[in-house]
């Protein structure tokens, strides 16, 4: 049966017709079956925890399966070719374990489909804060999108317009990240403003209860900044978040805070470290070994950009964002 998966692949891979997943200490391509792979992960890490289904779904991708890669306010769709690759030196995000795919293109440019054109349930599913997500229940809608792609359908955009749009998007994200890192915004100081921004983004994505917790809410170093739950959307899993407002490297301390909190709370919630900075490869390995997700600065501004039109006027003003149209030929 054909599989349909969401894969939050590093964008650096897609132009080479590849998708990538983490676990850089394990070479998926060296295993013939999923049981062998899971045993290797457990032998290396001690456990696989909540990642079992994600690992299975990614490893079992085969020729002609379909993957959807979220790209800010857009998505790209690819057919799986099947070849597995391993690049242990890959540093541009979690992407050491790679699979060759073929993205739908026109004139050699990847077709980007606006998320706003998707039906509500599929668009909601893509908000799931996991790296891999099963989209099988949306197979009919996805196949309809693929039919349109073959003729470019409603997604045809003049190449020069698209290139300009992508250029301005990249520049905006770069400037926003720089402002966040250097504190050149009107967000509240001491990290509180960033926590409030993350809380607003989680509410936009459908979480019905999002709480900023009191400081030092665990024993020892155990600590969580934000707890989010949703009673209304079955696709949204409970999450615990550590938020770090840093310029430069965020140390492993944030990860260790969540590890300690997990030991104490034994929660089934997904755990995230969200930072405006970056995290070392060694710290990423520690996070991966403990089933903790990482969102670095570039991914964070992608998240902001995706939800830009839903942010409150006050939040946009605090970030220094103004809604002014720009001519693509200026």
How does the average pLDDT of the chain come out, rounded? 88
Which of 155, 183, 215 terminates a domain? The answer is: 155
Is the residue at 113 inside a domain? yes
Both 196 and 277 in a single domain? yes
251 occurs within a structural domain:
yes
Average pLDDT on 274-302 reads 89
- Asked if residue 145 and residue 66 are part of one domain, the reply reads yes
CB 66 within 8 A of CB 4: yes
Question: pLDDT tens-digit profile of 194-232?
Answer: 999 999 999 998 899 999 998 877 778 889 999 999 887
- Name the pLDDT band for 153 (thresholds 50, 70, 90): very low
* Count of domains for the chain: 2
pLDDT of residue 268: 75
Tell me which residue range forms the domain holding 199. Answer: 192-319
* pLDDT band per the 50, 70, 90 thresholds, residue 304: very high
How do 18-21 and 105-106 pair as beta strands?
A: unpaired
305 pLDDT higher than 80: yes
Domain membership flag for residue 275: yes
Contact in structure between 297 and 177 (CB atoms under 8 Å) = yes
* Mean of pLDDT values over 38-66: 90
212, 199 in Cβ contact below 8 A? Answer: yes
Residue 213 lies in a domain: yes
List the one residue out of 5, 20, 258 whose CA is nearest residue 138. Answer: 5
Tens of pLDDT, residues 102-144: 999 888 889 889 888 898 889 888 887 788 999 999 999 999 8
Q: Which of 103, 134, 155 marks a domain boundary?
A: 155
Closest CA to 283 of 234, 326, 244, 327: 244
First-to-last C-alpha distance (Å) of the chain: 49
| CATH number of the domain to which 293 belongs | 3.40.1350.10
Residue 124 lies in a domain: yes
Residue 20 lies in a domain: yes
Q: Are residues 206 and 295 in the same domain?
A: yes
- Say which residue, 168 or 80, is predicted with more confidence: 80
What is the pLDDT at residue 154?
A: 47
Q: Are residues 139 and 15 in the same domain?
A: yes
Q: What is the pLDDT of residue 267?
A: 63
Which residues of 63-112 form beta strands (DSSP E)?
66-71, 74-86, 97-103, 105-106, 109-110
Domain identity same for 289 and 232:
yes
Instruction: List the strands of the sheet with 292-295, edge to edge.
Output: 209-212, 226-229, 239-244, 270-275, 292-295
SS3 100: strand
pLDDT band for position 313 (cuts 50, 70, 90): very high
Which pLDDT value is given to residue 265? 45
The confidence score (pLDDT) of residue 231 equals 82
Longest dimension (CA), the chain: 59
């Amino acid at each position: 049966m054909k599989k349909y998966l969401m894969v939050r692949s590093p964008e650096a891979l897609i132009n080479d017709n590849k998708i990538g997943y983490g676990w850089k200490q394990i070479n998926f391509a060296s295993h013939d079956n999923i049981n062998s792979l899971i045993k290797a992960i457990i032998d290396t890490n001690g456990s696989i925890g909540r990642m079992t289904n994600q690992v299975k779904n990614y490893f079992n991708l085969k020729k002609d399966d379909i993957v959807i890669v979220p790209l800010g306010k857009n998505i790209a769709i690819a057919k799986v070719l099947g070849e597995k690759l391993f690049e242990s030196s890959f540093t541009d995000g979690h992407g050491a374990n790679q699979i060759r795919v073929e993205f739908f293109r026109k004139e050699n440019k990847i077709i980007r489909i606006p998320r706003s054109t998707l039906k509500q349930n599929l668009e909601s599913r893509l908000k799931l804060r996991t790296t891999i997500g099963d989209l099988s229940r949306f197979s009919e809608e996805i196949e309809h999108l693929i039919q349109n792609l073959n003729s470019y359908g409603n997604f045809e955009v003049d190449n020069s317009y698209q290139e300009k749009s992508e250029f301005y998007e990249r520049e905006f994200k770069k400037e926003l990240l720089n402002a966040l890192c250097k504190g050149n915004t009107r967000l509240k100081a001491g990290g509180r403003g960033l926590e409030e921004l993350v809380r607003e983004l989680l509410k936009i994505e459908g979480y019905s209860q999002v709480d900023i917790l009191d400081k030092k809410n665990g024993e020892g170093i155990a600590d969580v900044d934000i707890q989010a739950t949703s009673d209304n959307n079955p696709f949204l899993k409970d999450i615990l978040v550590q938020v770090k407002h840093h310029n430069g490297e965020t140390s492993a301390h944030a990860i260790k805070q969540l590890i300690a909190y997990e030991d104490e709370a034994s929660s089934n919630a997904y755990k995230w470290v969200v930072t405006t900075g970056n995290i070392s490869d060694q710290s990423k390995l520690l996070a991966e070994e403990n089933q903790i997700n990482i969102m670095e600065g570039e991914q964070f501004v992608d998240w902001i950009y995706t939800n830009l039109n839903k942010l409150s006027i006050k939040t946009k003003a605090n970030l220094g964002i103004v809604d002014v149209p720009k001519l693509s030929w200026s």
